[in-house]
Amino acid sequence: MSTLLKNALIIDAESPYHNQKKDILIIDGVIEKIADSIETKENYNIIELENLHVSCGWFDSSVSFGEPGFEERETIENGLQVAAKSGFTGVAVNGNTNPVVDSKSDIEYLKNKANFSATKLYPIGALTQKSEGKELAELYDMQQSGAVAFGDYNLPVENDNLLKIALLYAQNFDGLVLSFPKNNSIAGEGIANEGINSTKLGLKGIPALAEHIQIARDLFLLEYTGGKLHIPTISTAKSVELIKEAKKKGLQVTCSVTAHHLALTDDELHGFDSNFKTNPPLRTTEDTKALIKAVKNRVIDIITSDHNPIDIENKKVEFSEAKDGVIGLESLFGAVNSVLNLDDYITCITTKPKQIFGIENYSIKEGKKADITLFNPDTTYTFTSKNILSTSKNSPFINKNLKGIVYGVIANNQIILK
C-alpha cells in the first residue's frame, strides 16, 4: 500500500523536518520519502486535508475499556477504533475489568484481542491480587507477557509496607509502579472537591489534603526504596510542588494530569450533572492554573484522557449515587489544545509518556515505521453527543467549545480516518 500525504506540517522536535510543510510518502507502513513535493502516481492513495498537521502517534497512558466483564460500557474492539479516530496509535489499558487483570493469562488475553488493530494496546497489570490491596500480583510474569506498568486503577495502596515491597521488587526487572494519589481516611465519603462549591451545593467534600498526604507518603517511600514511581492524575497545586521538590532530589518520579483537570473546575458542579463526577474530583481555578503551568514547566510529564466509560444505569442517576469517571479520548485534543500551546501538548502525549512506559517512539523520518497522527489544530467547534464515538456517553465536554480536530492515524500499516 502506497500513501501520499500532501502539504503536511510536521510537528516533531526529533525530526529534521520539524515545523516544515512537506509531502510524505508511505509505502507498506514505512516512510519512504519526505520532500517539498512528491510526484503523484496512479497507485498512490492521496491524503490531502485542510490545514493538515502530523506528529508522532499519540499515546494515552490511562484508558479503561469494559472488556472483559463490562462489555456494555466499551469493548476492546470499539475502544481501539475510538482511540484511532481520536488520534491515538497506542493506549495503556487499565486492569479494572471483571476479572481484574492480575495474571499472565489476563495480559495475554488483552494483547491477543488487539492483535490486528491500528492502535496498539499496552496492558497495565494490577499491582495487587484482584486489586484488593492485600498481596502483590504476579508482576514479573505479567511484564514478561507484555505489561508496561502495575497499578490498581483509581484505588490507593493503603498498606505502606506493601508499596515499599512493590517498589523494591519491581527494581529487579525495571518495572514501573503506579500509586493513585488518594488517602481514603481523609477523603471519607466525599464526592466533590472540598471548598466553596461543595459547601454551597451540600455535597460531601474531598479535601485536597487527601491527595497531598498520599503523595508525600509515596515520595518518602520512593526515597527510601529507589525504583520508578508514576503518580497518575494529580489535581492540585500543592501536588505539583511536592513532585517538583522530589524531582529536584533526583527521585525517579513522574506524574500525569487529565484533560478535564486542565480545562474544567468544580464550578461545573452547579447543575449536579454526574458527567462531572470524577476521581480525583474537579478542583479550583487556582489548581487548574497551577496544573497548566506545571505542564509548561515539565513538572507534569503526561497528559491523559483517563478515559473511563460508565454505562447509563450507573451514570445517569443522582449525583451522590453515580460512579466516578468520564470518557475523554474523543475530546482530549480539543480540550487541551484550548489551554496549552501545541508543542507542549505534543511533548506530553508522545515522547514523554512513551519514554516513561518504555514504548518506542517513531520519529517522522525517512526509513522509519509510519506511526503518525493527523490533525488540524486551528478549527474551533462545539463538542456535542454527535462527536462521541464511545459506547458510553459520559463526557464532561458536551456543549463545550473546543479547539482542534483529529483526522485520524496511520499506524500498523493501516489508515484510520473519521
Active-site amino acid positions: 306
Examine the pLDDT at 1 and tell me if it is beyond 90. no
Residue 275, sorted as left (phi over 0), alpha (psi -120 to 50) or beta, turns out to be alpha
- For residue 283, give the DSSP letter: -
- Cα–Cα distance for residue pair 299/314, rounded to 1 Å: 35
Examine the pLDDT at 42 and tell me if it is beyond 90. no
Identify the architecture of domain 2-53+366-417 in CATH: Roll (2.30)
Examine the pLDDT at 251 and tell me if it is beyond 90. yes
Each residue of 125-180: pLDDT tens digit?
Answer: 999 999 999 999 999 999 999 999 999 999 999 999 999 999 999 999 999 999 99
> What mean pLDDT comes out for the span 107-134?
97
Neighbours of 304 (CB within 10 A): 24
Do 2-53+366-417 and 57-356 come out as alike in CATH topology?
A: no
Q: What is the mean pLDDT of the chain?
A: 97
**Cα angle 303-306-309, degrees, rounded to a multiple of 5:** 155
- Cα–Cα distance for residue pair 358/170, rounded to 1 Å: 14
Enter the C-alpha cell of residue 123: 496492558
The amino acid that residue 266 corresponds to is D
- Cα–Cα distance for residue pair 78/237, rounded to 1 Å: 36
Examine the pLDDT at 256 and tell me if it is beyond 90. yes
Examine the pLDDT at 351 and tell me if it is beyond 90. yes
| Domain ranges across the chain | 2-53+366-417, 57-356
The sign of the CA dihedral 86, 92, 93, 96 is: negative
Give start and end residues of each alpha helix (H) in 177-270.
184-187, 196-201, 209-225, 237-248, 259-263
**Among 112, 58, 44, which residue's Cα sits nearest to residue 86?**
58
- Cα–Cα distance for residue pair 131/388, rounded to 1 Å: 30
Identify the architecture of domain 57-356 in CATH: Alpha-Beta Barrel (3.20)
pTM over cut 0.85 = yes
